[in-house]
């Protein structure tokens, strides 16, 4: 109920009702007052008229009987009259009922009415007289006493009286009609006012509903605009606003999506921080990074490494961009943190983490490589300089010593040449510039041919060289024979070099189930377990004593690994210190 009074319908309705009721009330009161007076006056005037006429008739008519008839006709049904002479005696009576005598008595004894004889002017009075129907009951009557003249002389009076019940009845009827009309007007107003106010407010209600649905995110909401008044204009403006809001939101959405796409497709991790260091926004790489940090910092406080927190605080405090390269949990990051402004106030910062681990690794590889190459070159160069100086200075006396020195110089120069070649090979292999010239190659003859190159060398070192390539059968494999020869040469060379005299080196080959395997096993010094995983790294030498002549450059196995892998295969080392080593490489191939 309270709702209706809070609504415009209610207020409008109540206002119209109040206004109309007020007007109706005033009009009814005035009308009733007016009608009451009107009827009273009319009755009095009639009485007055009748009295005047009667007095004229009495005065002018010679024949009293004729005048009696005229007067009798003249008087209305409910009007009675008595004519009295100066002494107060009743001369004539008209329309008297059974209560006539009583009324006569009352009228003649009434002091006010008897003034008619003295004042010579009519006297009007409202009084209660016995009813015509029941003489004991009093009813309201209007009485008029007018003097009668004969010439200039007063010779009596006429008392005209009328029962006012009829007049009062009239007034009551009129009142009833007036009140009924007022009531009907009120009821009709009630209905029409309600109808009117609902009609005015129904478009407003629709607008309200539309505004609500707009607020709930349904931007397609349109309000009908059938009217051409202020509310119609409002509806048009509302629809325009809705379209504008929708358009603006779409534009914002597109921009957001674009930014989101950029952020998501970035390989750098982006984290946006609040002023207090809490995280506002991240992209997928940042999520992965944060997860890693979280896992790594289980027992520490906060998700973010302290270094980052420190940088953030600096950015917020000094409002300047900070850039740094930091190792974080085993990874290297190039970190840039810039302040985020809202006006001139720093509301946070955005940090970009670029993973530099790979670059860092490559950098280290490059510097290590350079260091190793220069280290490897230094020894032979100093030897070359030393021996060649000795030769040119003529310090060497015997021909034998000179020969010996010349041989050393040649060996070292060759070693340097090999180193340079190997380095070039390795760089080409690693950078992918080395091209393989694969051709269908029969495995068995290849293995036997390469192994046979080492027969003399093995014999010199007093080592038994066994070759068993029967397992390879008739297999024909697509491979770059020169490169595979490089691999096998290095493996057999290593085996012979690391096997003492009396030992055995065995080269075995098989080709089953689409897998070519070549193994070089020796009974030599073996490789310590801690070195085993590193022997394929460049410049790695398990025998730390870089004995001249015997020692290689430490690139052979790295090159072998690269070649085998570029054939789609793999290489592995099995060894036991003091017992021997088996190096095996495998290359998958398609059987024909």
Ligand X SMILES: Nc1ncnc2c1ncn2[C@@H]1O[C@H](COP(=O)(O)OP(=O)(O)OP(=O)(O)O)[C@@H](O)[C@H]1O
Single out the residue of 95, 444, 498, 508 in contact with ligand X (rule: CB under 6 A).
498
Q: How far is CA 42 from the centre of its chain?
A: 84
**Which of Mg ion, ligand X, none binds 380 (CB below 5-8 Å, type-dependent)?**
none
147 binds ligand X (CB under 6 A): no
Q: Which of 477, 468, 450 is nearest to 586 (CA)?
A: 477
Q: What are phi and psi of 570, to 5 degrees?
A: -150, 160
d(CA 459, CA 168): 162
d(CA 482, CA 488): 10
Taking CB atoms, the residue at the shortest distance from ligand X is 552
Single out the residue of 182, 527, 532, 564 in contact with ligand X (rule: CB under 6 A).
527
Query: In this chain, which stretch among 123-131, 500-508, 528-536, 545-553 interacts with Mg ion, using CB under 5 A?
Result: 545-553
**Which of Mg ion, ligand X, none binds 539 (CB below 5-8 Å, type-dependent)?**
none
Q: Can you give the three-state secondary structure of 283-352, one letter per residue?
A: CHHHHHHHHHHHHHCCCCCCCCCHHHHHHHHHHHHHCCCEEEEEEECCEEEEEEEEEEEECCEEEEEEEE
| Cβ burial 241-265 (10 Å sphere, 16+ → b, else e) | ebeeeeeeeeeeeeeeeeeeeebee
Single out the residue of 149, 347, 541, 572 in contact with ligand X (rule: CB under 6 A).
541
CB of 439 to ligand X, least distance (A): 26
Tokens (6 digits) for 206: 């629709």
556 binds ligand X (CB under 6 A): yes
Tokens (6 digits) for 72: 């009798």
524 binds Mg ion (CB under 5 A): no
By beta-carbon proximity to Mg ion, the closer residue of 51 and 487 is 487
Sheet holding 279-282, edge to edge: 279-282, 269-274, 345-355, 331-342, 322-328
**Which of Mg ion, ligand X, none binds 543 (CB below 5-8 Å, type-dependent)?**
ligand X
By beta-carbon proximity to ligand X, the closer residue of 54 and 557 is 557
524 binds ligand X (CB under 6 A): yes
CB of 334 to Mg ion, least distance (A): 39
**Which of Mg ion, ligand X, none binds 197 (CB below 5-8 Å, type-dependent)?**
none
552 binds Mg ion (CB under 5 A): yes
Secondary structure letter of residue 554 according to DSSP: S
Single out the residue of 478, 543, 565, 574 in contact with ligand X (rule: CB under 6 A).
543
Beta-bridge partner residues of 352: 270, 336
499 binds Mg ion (CB under 5 A): no
By beta-carbon proximity to Mg ion, the closer residue of 354 and 418 is 418
557 binds ligand X (CB under 6 A): yes
Secondary structure letter of residue 510 according to DSSP: E
**Which of ligand X, Mg ion, none binds 555 (CB below 5-8 Å, type-dependent)?**
ligand X
| Cβ burial 328-354 (10 Å sphere, 16+ → b, else e) | beeebbbbbbebbeeeeebebbbbbbb
Please report, as residue ranges, which positions from 558 to 587 form the binding site for ligand X (by CB under 6 A).
558, 581
Checking DSSP bridges between strand 138-150 and strand 504-512, what pairing results, if any?
Answer: unpaired
**Which residues in this chain contact ligand X in the complex, by CB under 6 A?**
422, 490, 494-495, 498, 522, 524-527, 535, 540-543, 551-558, 581
The residues that touch Mg ion, with contacts defined as CB under 5 A, are 490, 494, 552, 556
């Amino acid at each position: 109920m309270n709702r209706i009074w809070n609504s415009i319908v209610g207020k409008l309705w109540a206002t119209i009702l109040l206004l109309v009721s007020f007007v109706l009330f005033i009009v009814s009161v005035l009308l009733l007052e007016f009608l009451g007076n009107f009827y009273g006056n009319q009755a009095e005037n009639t009485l007055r008229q009748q009295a005047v006429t009667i007095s004229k008739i009495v005065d002018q008519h010679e024949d009293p009987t004729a005048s009696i008839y005229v007067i009798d006709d003249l008087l209305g049904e409910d009007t009675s009259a008595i004519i009295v002479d100066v002494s107060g005696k009743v001369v004539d009576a008209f329309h008297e009922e059974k209560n006539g005598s009583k009324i006569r008595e009352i009228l003649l004894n009434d002091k006010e009415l008897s003034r008619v004889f003295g004042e010579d002017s009519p006297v009007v009075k409202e009084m209660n007289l016995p009813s015509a129907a029941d003489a004991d009951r009093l009813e309201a009557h209007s009485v008029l006493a007018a003097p009668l003249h004969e010439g200039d002389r007063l010779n009596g009076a006429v008392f005209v009286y009328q029962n006012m019940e009829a007049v009062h009845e009239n007034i009551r009827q009129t009142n009833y009609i007036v009140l009924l009309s007022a009531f009907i007007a009120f009821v009709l107003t009630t209905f029409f006012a309600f109808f009117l106010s609902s009609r005015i407010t129904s478009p407003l209600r629709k607008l309200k509903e539309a505004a609500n649905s707009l607020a709930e995110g349904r931007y397609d909401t349109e309000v009908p605009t059938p009217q051409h008044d202020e509310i119609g204009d409002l509806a048009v403006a509302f629809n325009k606003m809705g379209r504008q809001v929708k358009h603006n939101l779409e534009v914002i959405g597109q921009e957001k999506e674009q930014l989101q796409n950029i952020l998501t497709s970035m390989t750098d991790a982006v984290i946006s921080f609040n002023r207090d260091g809490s995280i506002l926004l991240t992209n997928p790489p940042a999520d992965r990074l944060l997860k890693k940090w979280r896992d790594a910092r289980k027992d520490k406080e906060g998700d973010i490494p302290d270094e980052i927190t420190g940088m953030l605080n600096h950015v917020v405090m000094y409002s300047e961009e900070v850039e740094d390269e930091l190792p974080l949990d085993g990874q290297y990051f190039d970190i840039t943190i810039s302040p985020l402004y809202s006006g001139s106030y720093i509301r946070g910062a955005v940090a970009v983490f670029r993973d530099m681990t790979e670059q860092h690794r490559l950098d280290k590889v490059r510097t290590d490589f350079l260091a190793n190459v220069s280290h490897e070159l230094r020894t032979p160069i100093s030897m070359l300089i030393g021996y060649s100086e000795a030769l040119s200075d003529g310090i060497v006396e015997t021909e034998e010593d000179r020969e010996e020195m010349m041989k050393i110089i040649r060996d070292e120069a060759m070693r340097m040449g090999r180193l340079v070649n190997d380095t070039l090979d390795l760089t080409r292999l690693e950078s992918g510039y080395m091209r393989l010239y694969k051709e269908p190659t029969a495995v068995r003859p290849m293995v036997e041919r390469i192994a046979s190159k080492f027969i003399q060398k093995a014999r010199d070192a007093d080592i038994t060289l066994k070759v068993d390539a029967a397992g390879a059968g008739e297999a024909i494999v697509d491979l770059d024979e020169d490169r595979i020869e490089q691999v096998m040469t290095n493996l057999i060379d290593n085996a012979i070099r690391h096997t003492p005299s009396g030992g055995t080196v065995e080269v075995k080959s098989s080709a089953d189930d689409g897998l070519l395997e070549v193994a070089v096993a020796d009974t030599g010094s073996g490789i310590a377990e801690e070195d085993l995983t590193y022997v394929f790294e460049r410049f790695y030498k398990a025998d730390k004593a870089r004995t001249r002549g015997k020692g290689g450059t430490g690139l052979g196995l790295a090159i072998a690994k690269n070649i085998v892998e570029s054939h789609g295969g793999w290489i592995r080392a099995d060894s036991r210190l003091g017992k021997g080593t088996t190096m095996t490489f495998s290359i998958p191939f398609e059987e024909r």
